[in-house]
Amino acid sequence: MKITLYYATNRNHLGKNRWKPEGYGQNFSSDRNSNLRFGKVELNVDNNTIENDFLKKAKHKRIGDGIGLSAYLTKQAKQNAKIKAYKDITSGGKGDVSVDKLASTELFQDLKKIMDEKQDIMINIHGFNVDWWEAVGSAMALELMLNRENIHQKSNNKSVTVFLFSWPSNGEMMKDRAYSSDRQDATDSGIAVARGFLKLRDFLMTLRPKETISKLKLDPSLKECGQELHLLCHSMGNFVFENALASLKENTNQKSLPRLFKNVFMCAPDVADNVLEKAEPMQSAHELCRSLNIYYNRGDVAMYISDYTKGNSERLGHAGAARPEHLHNKIYQVDCSNIVSGMTEHSYYLWGSVNEDIVERMHGVCFEDENRMGELKSRNVFELS
């Protein structure tokens, strides 16, 4: 089985040829921290190993070991993956270039072809202490987990392609220095993510309904695909998202942000627990989507470390929003504590039941649905069980 992962990154390339890099490093691109490179990673893996050792494997009485799968794919990617970057003709800095010649436009056109085949796109922003190959492995694992068999996907007949944004998280543990360094890099990477969002907005604005294409005899490739975009941020990736929102506000003249996504998933978010309230940094996050979903775990050791050893305020990923009643009505919370509490895994969004709940939200299953694995505790808090 060949896995193809599309990506954007503001990391520095490794090797002599930036268009055929050997990988990406721990620093920003030499072109500046807001500069984006686009490309794809291809990896051949044994399908039986994937299915039997991970996707169908029971762990902690749940089916699907995405965390183990991520580690396996990371190892395989380091050894066998091939990277191809979209050549950016603007890198020479010579004059203006038409939009259709941009690397981002070529990428979006390739992704649109995928979406035309009834596939949604999930943009994934990873967290703290993740090197390039770990980011690739976890994104590939996320795609395979989202596409494993379950009742809602069978009825929906729609699959998901994951698109990775990788920022220069250190991928090393250097006590407090690593966390502080990653936090600063996450701040600076927000500009790159905002630029990517604006490029996406501009591309989406070129698309037209099927009827308009036929009536005006436009290029058929400009037809809307009818599929959905989603965003999933993990851990400090949510801090990248927070800074991207600030940059978007600075670079758009509209009263509200563009609605780009059906769902935004904030998983184990390493941001303040009041960040989504009015007058706080992420107060406008709900404008980007139809539904914003927070996944948290009271037993998350990483959140405890962020709270008490890094001098941060209470984390959203530890106990959810400080004041749920102050959240916008498009914001929902999923308490995962009952099924992951006491475990050391911080990446529980890749694991069994939590991942399946994310799939259900993507396909529009409401919190009141009797088939969901848990109980609605209040207007916007669902407890997984």
What is the residue range of 374's domain? 2-384
> Are 170 and 102 a contacting pair, CB within 8 Å?
no
Record the pTM: 0.92
The tokens describing 46, both together, are 């044994």
| Terminal Cα-to-Cα distance of the chain (whole angstroms) | 33
3-state secondary structure 128-188: CCCCHHHHHHHHHHHHHHHCCCCHHHHHHCCEEEEEEEECCCCCCCECHHHHHHHHHHHHH
Phi, psi of 38 (to 5 degrees): -120, 150
Rounded to whole angstroms, the Cα distance separating 367 from 373 reads 10
Average pLDDT of span 235-259 = 91
**If you average pLDDT over every residue of the chain, what do you get?**
86
The tokens 């914001």 sit on which residue?
331
Using 50, 70 and 90 to split pLDDT, how confident is the model at 97?
very low
Q: How far apart are CA 376 and CA 385, in angstroms?
A: 11
Q: Give 287-342 pLDDT, tens digit per residue.
A: 999 999 999 998 887 776 654 555 567 899 999 999 999 999 999 999 999 888 65
- Residue 215 clears pLDDT 70, i.e. is over it: no
Tell whether the model's pLDDT for residue 371 goes beyond 70.
yes
Q: How many residues does the chain have?
A: 385
Reading the block at residue 63, the tokens are: 């089916």
Domain count, the chain: 1
